[in-house]
Structure 1
Amino acid sequence: MRATRAGAEGPFLDLSPSLQRTGRACAWIEEGGQVLMAGRDGGGWTLPGGGIHPGESDAEAALREAWEECGAHAEVTGEPLTLRGASGVDALCFPLRLTRPLDPSPEGRPVAWLSSRALPCADDVQLRQVLAARGETPAFLARPALVEQALAEAARLGVEDSSSLEAGRLRCTLAASRPGGRLLELGTGLGVGTAWLLSGMDRAARLTTAELDPVRAQAAWQLLRPDHRAEVVHGDGRDLLPRGPFDLIVVDGVLIRCDVSALDQLVSALRPGGQLVVDDLTPPAHLSQEFFKGDALRQALFAHPELSCTEIGLSPHERVVLATRRA
């Protein structure tokens, strides 16, 4: 990484404060495998970009933002890609080429050239989308083939955000830590998260996954039936708890929140040293008002006498609780 200008972390000047901007555009400027990025107000790096002014084309907005945030004089060299931001807002990302050396950032931002194909920068939410669209994802960041199949089926059925990349990697890693283990998943969905678990499991491990919705259970079964390690059950996953003890149980936080009293059943179905993953939890900063006096699920997990818990932030909008049953 080579920095072109140092500066204090934000707030920075805002040269485009209009509240009438619509849509978003950003710029991809690459030289020698390094991508030009601007400092965020809260720290870290982002592709230069922002809202589109009324009467301004998408491409003009990308060029303007590249200048305001990075001091880049540039020209558009191709068609844009649509990127999904961490907040879920789409942005049109235009490839640009510098026409002259960089000036200091007019907004006073630090500017850096980051390696787009080496960690940690290659795993940036924006960079990895561009590389994926170009078919240039580094092998060490590629999703497992079964996960890609599950995502393709979810897209065909019009289901988005079946399982985040970060949550999937955690599942894969935990499954790999249980050689020959018995795993249970409550809430199969379309099998995206299940595919991540299978991608981490060894050949001797076994996974049972349950889904209440018949359509989703059938779709997951069609996807997973070639893998002898997986059993897809249509029904309430709590009915499978007597089959324990399990080495790893993964449960959707939405499911258990509806019946926090089921936590004792889950813990009893865990082998001592076994782990419970409660995912799809909302970060405290984004909780709705009903939780301002406390979250019964988090409270029950951390107060349970047989569990040792930690909460893990996977993204700005997603957390999980990872719990281990005490021996």
Structure 2
Amino acid sequence: MNDIINQPLPKAYRAITEETHRLGFTMPSDAQTCALLRTLATSKPAGRFLELGTGSGLSTAWILDGMDSKSTLISFDHDDALLAVAQKYLGHDERLSLVRSDGADWVYANKGQLFDFIFADTWHGKYLLLDDVLTMLQPGGLYIVDDMLPQPNWPEGHQEKALVFIEYLEGRDDLWIVKQHWATGIIIGVKR
């Protein structure tokens, strides 16, 4: 067994990857994480999906690839240039709502919504407003975060912040979590 992805890539993946590199965006989700997101998305038929931090749409493409025709995905980001890439390649998908918004503004404006799958790929929903976002998770819903292993682009002090975040998740009595020392470091939680 190895980590090679021997299944089809989402149709827009290569084009989004090229534009992401041209923009100089250095924090996209890696292919292994994305393949896991697609696999997990498949487990939530007719699901309500939330992605916090669209970026250029790389992980969005994989999540959409795993979703069925009755599922919906809301994905937001504050960066116009990155969102434009996602819109260009994925905006035609009627299951997807791309939103330009600051993370805190979106979370506060959408309290009360419930989701079956939340991928927190930005500070909001991970290091900021975590409790608010976890309240949006349905029982049996999946909460996924990546980049939990040290990354070369982490600012000074971020390692400590990540450790506090992990300890907090481990201490919650409403989540079962698994930590994977794989890809960029992934945590998957399931709401109890």
Same fold (TM over 0.5): yes
Aligned to 2:133: 266
* Structure-to-structure mapping, 1:300-315, within 5 angstroms: 300-315=168-183
Q: Contact 2:49–2:115 at 8 Å: present in 1 too?
A: yes
Aligned to 1:275: 142
TM (norm. structure 2) is 0.85
Cα 1:202/1:307, change in 2 over 3 Å:
same
Q: Deviations over 1:216-242 (max 9, x none)?
A: 223222222111010000002424642
Cα 1:269/1:157, change in 2 over 3 Å:
same
Aligned to 1:245: 114
Aligned to 1:193: 59
Give the 3-state SS of the residue equivalent to 2:82 in structure 1: helix
CA shift, 1:244, in A, is: 1.9
- Separation in 2 of the partners of 1:227 and 1:212? 20
Q: Deviations over 1:1-54 (max 9, x none)?
A: xxxxxxxxxxxxxxxxxxxxxxxxxxxxxxxxxxxxxxxxxxxxxxxxxxxxxx
Aligned residues: 186
Aligned to 2:34: 168
1:178 partner letter: K
- Separation in 2 of the partners of 1:206 and 1:240? 18
1:302 partner letter: E
Cα 1:166/1:288, change in 2 over 3 Å:
same
- Separation in 1 of the partners of 2:29 and 2:123? 14
Aligned to 2:15: 149
- Structure with the larger strand share: 1
- Separation in 1 of the partners of 2:131 and 2:125? 11
1:210 partner letter: F
Give the 3-state SS of the residue equivalent to 1:169 in structure 2: helix
2:130 partner letter: L
Cα 1:302/1:280, change in 2 over 3 Å:
same
Q: Deviations over 1:46-86 (max 9, x none)?
A: xxxxxxxxxxxxxxxxxxxxxxxxxxxxxxxxxxxxxxxxx
Larger Rg: 1
- Separation in 1 of the partners of 2:42 and 2:146? 18
CA shift, 1:159, in A, is: 3.0
Of structures 1 and 2, the one scoring higher in RCO (CA 8 A, sep 6+) is 2
Aligned to 1:202: 68
CA shift, 1:179, in A, is: 0.7
1:173 partner letter: T
2:85 partner letter: A
1:301 partner letter: L
Aligned to 2:48: 182
Give the 3-state SS of the residue equivalent to 2:74 in structure 1: strand
Q: 2:91 aligns with which of 225, 230, 235?
A: 225
CA shift, 1:121, in A, is: 5.2
Q: Contact 1:253–1:279 at 8 Å: present in 2 too?
A: no
TM (norm. structure 1) is 0.52
Cα 1:253/1:215, change in 2 over 3 Å:
closer
Give the 3-state SS of the residue equivalent to 2:185 in structure 1: strand
Q: Contact 1:207–1:230 at 8 Å: present in 2 too?
A: yes
Any unmatched runs of 5+ in structure 1? 1-119, 129-139
- Separation in 1 of the partners of 2:160 and 2:136? 31
